[in-house]
Structure 1
Amino acid sequence: MIASVIRTCFPVAANVVAERAEEINKLNVFPVPDGDTGTNMSLTLGTVVKEVEALPQDATIEDIAKAITHGSLMGARGNSGVITSQILRGLAEGLCDAKDQDNPTAADIAHAFRRSVKVAFKAVRKPVEGTILTVLRDMSTRADQLEKAHITATEMLDALVIEAYESVARTPELLPVLKENGVVDSGAFGFATFFEAFVNAVEGKAGEVSDFKTTVDSSDAKAAVSSKVAIELNDDWEGSQYRYCNEFLFHANDESFDRDAALAFLATMGDCELLVGEYPDFKVHVHSNTPDKVLAYMLERGQIFEVFIHNMDLEAHERTAKIAADKAAEEKAPKKPLGFVAVAAGSGEASILTSLGVDVVVSGGQTMNPSTADILAAVEKTNAENVIVLPDNGNIRMAAEAAASACEDAHVAVVPTKTVPQAFSAMFVADPEGTLEDNVEAMTDAVSEVRGGEVTRAVRDSQAADGSPIHAGDVMGIEDGAITVVGSSVKDVTVELIRRMQEAEEGDTLTILAGKDLDDASFQEILDAISAAEPSLELDSHRGEQPLYPIVFSIE
């Protein structure tokens, strides 16, 4: 089970980091303000995804751990990427030790975090408090505390998401440069974002948090983070006396290669030196003013490849220019009368919403729960006097309403959409020239005429609305939050779910979105099957590219 869960959920979490890479980049002021942490973490995670997806379907957790270790090492970019690679390596190695691979326990999770702390801290010669390493250690300490309480694995994961964000919120108190610039640590925030998305995907939820011995939930913890990310301009170069970020892969000539001596040499060349991996393959990272000397030293001891040398000075100025441009644009643009914010998980969904007039699309959905702060930031980004928010998921509605209540610069209302196709229908009747009240009424009426359905695979054993058993791997058809159809084929479950919904209440139009993992040929087969079974139903098909849900549709 651990192997299948990682294979399913790791790509989802990696995609969330990729979508939020620019947001993470803007927080990057340590060790130097070169604005690349989000990009580097995303590239590192992306390489892992490719390695894991290349494995056969019957790959074991040991196979996956090796793929994670090798993929993250080969794809590690920048200081944050290299450290992330070691965190992932430790977690994967720790999970391999679980006695029952089908039913991992809270103790197994705690063990994996202890292993991760050991591996990650060993890789960094001079750990700095207030960084990703601090968050990792805090999560491990919390896991150790909860392990003694004999809680479930789900309760453990939920509690660690909270701990991750609470620890991120504390980073400015531990690292002065963060406090001076009004930000949290970018690498720490990136890791918390990845971990939350992974846990949400594992649990198939949009962020509900267990009540086990805690007085806060993940949205509260994220709000604490958002209060400390008022990004300031930083155009000085006090973060480092070194200009170039050097990173490359190294293949040692023979077993006589002295890793400790090489690491000591790198320390004389600059700072942020890292040399991770196992003989004969290593990843090298160092900030230095003399990349030629770094490369020459390593060339005498082996082969180098995948060489990247970045001018951090220029990157820092570029980061500052981007932030300044964003601020200037916000200050100059006059507020428009009415704006729209919607939540979507897939790039196709986002493109359609934008074409229909949505100003800002927040990345999120059933397994990627945006916080109140995320939605509030999107509302502010619309630069409108009045804003309508479409949460597109029942579990996101409360966060949207909290954002509406908290906003002081605009009048905000929420139209309670539960699916992205409902948002399509709402936007079809939206009138940008109309009043907030009239639009809310018209859009709410439009949504009430739309019924939604989703098709996905179960990641764990459960039961359907009628009490029938569901096994991990089964295909589930979901109507209005209830599992009503279970089968083995996405096509068959989709057709049967639509048949039942049409039998209950006949509709005229079916809007259907293909998920990220559903290829065009399979999608067309499903469309043909629907046309054959429901010839009177008009089909409006699109690529939604949403993760985890191969099919999302609405009938009206």
Structure 2
Amino acid sequence: MANSKLSGTLFKKMVTNGAVNLKNNHKEIDNLNVFPVPDGDTGTNMQMTMMAGIKEVKNNKTDSIQDISKILSRGLLMGARGNSGVILSQFFRGLYSEIAKIDSDSVSVDDFIQALVGGYQMSYRAVMDPVEGTILTVVRESAEKVLQERKNLKSIDEVLKVYLTQAKETLIKTPDLLPVLKEAGVVDSGGAGFIKIVEGWMMALNGQEIQEEQQYVEQNSFVHEHNEIGAHNLGEIDIKFGYCTEFIVKLFDYEKFDEKFMREPLSQMGDSLVVVTDEDLLKVHVHTNQPGVALTLAQKYGELQTIKVDNMRNQHSNIMNSEKEVTKIETPKQKSKYALISVASGEGIKEVFLELGVDRVISGGQTMNPSTEDFVKAINELNAENIIILPNNSNIILTAEQTVELCPEYNIRVLKTKSIAQGYSSLISFDPTMKIDENIEAMTESITNMKSGEVTYAIRDTEMKGVKIKEGDFIGISSSEIKVSTNNKVETTNNLIDLLLSDESEIITVFYGLDVLDEELDEVISHINTKAPDIEVEIIEGKQDIYSFIIAVE
């Protein structure tokens, strides 16, 4: 029997089913990645994000669809991991924003379609520079399709059938929209994970409840037909407006304030604009070449609470490391001026970061991204006026940035470090006597003036930008590209080092992992000494897995 309306009880069954379906199949999503490295984590991030939200829903006995969607949205936001998790949390935030407007115990077909539209719109706002060919395209085109078919759709079931069919069609064409996917011969893994969620919704409508650990694969599903799904990397960004500017304002008179007061002038000054109000708080994100003008405009309507301005043209791209859980330290009794929070993997690397002044190390990296809640917990436990977060992974930056909005009482900056090497280099430039924005500028400059790379192994055959790769080969990665591939770990490492070194290089730091033998390390050191006899060499036992070597050259 078709469902003409969506009740809170049915909505709860749908979202729970979707989360469990994703969880049961998340390894399949993890294994489908642009780079053939053993660190695919999109499925893990998405399922952990979803299960965090579902946990909150299950702990609350309400049957109100408005309350359920609100609780789910908050739980997802706090549990969001990685770019894919943050985008997913924003999709459900968009659903809630539309459902909250409904003065009824159930959602009509038109209401549900509008909620799906709100979900895709909110998802786009979560990303500074939305890239087509990702999960964003999947949620947008699916919602647009049901809008087009609106007059012909008489039930929630019919809406979801059209929505899911379009999602699969869009997923197939993602490689045509994002060159890195086409080159690797894969489709977007975030979109594939989202389809698992929607498949779970459909099964709930049909009365089928999925149990955890039940491995469900829909017959003739896209994943079953095509063993080529992947890509949590959202690709390179062409920067037109150089300053990523974010601030929170406490409004003088929020009842009379209209978001257009900020949106209209700022839309003429930049792009990637997000203007959100929550009662007396205004949150603004914009890419602009005039951050000072944006801040001055905001002061007309209230008092600035937090400010973050990053020069995006000084940022580079890298790919990195793993795991999760917080290294505990005692909270200082007196309020300190600074606290540094860093994400790192490998006991040796963690120890080095603590020695360099990091106050809290959150274990994690490419295979296990920390959640938003992990960062919020660390911030609240640290007693500091100013907090600098080093994500050390491109897939963790968006999660870390959520803390600026969630913790407006703290002066937080997220330094956009995209690798352990970048984080290590930036810490050398930190000076506790300087102001926070001076530190951010100095630390960013350190990142700009260094090169870094990692060595790991391939888990499948592929070819990327002329580099032929075979399963089991060792690959050298730098600037988010596979530069070297051979069947020998030391040869790959030495070839990568040759690419990173230049006549201006003064220091090379080598973090070696758990799989590196003493004789292999000796060969690498010998090669460096031969290649650049005058360079200073620092060797650190990082004890990291997945990456045999992490290299920083300054």
TM-score between the two structures when normalised by the length of structure 2: 0.45
Structure having the higher helix fraction is 1
Which structure is richer in relative contact order (CA contacts within 8 A, separation 6 or more)? 2
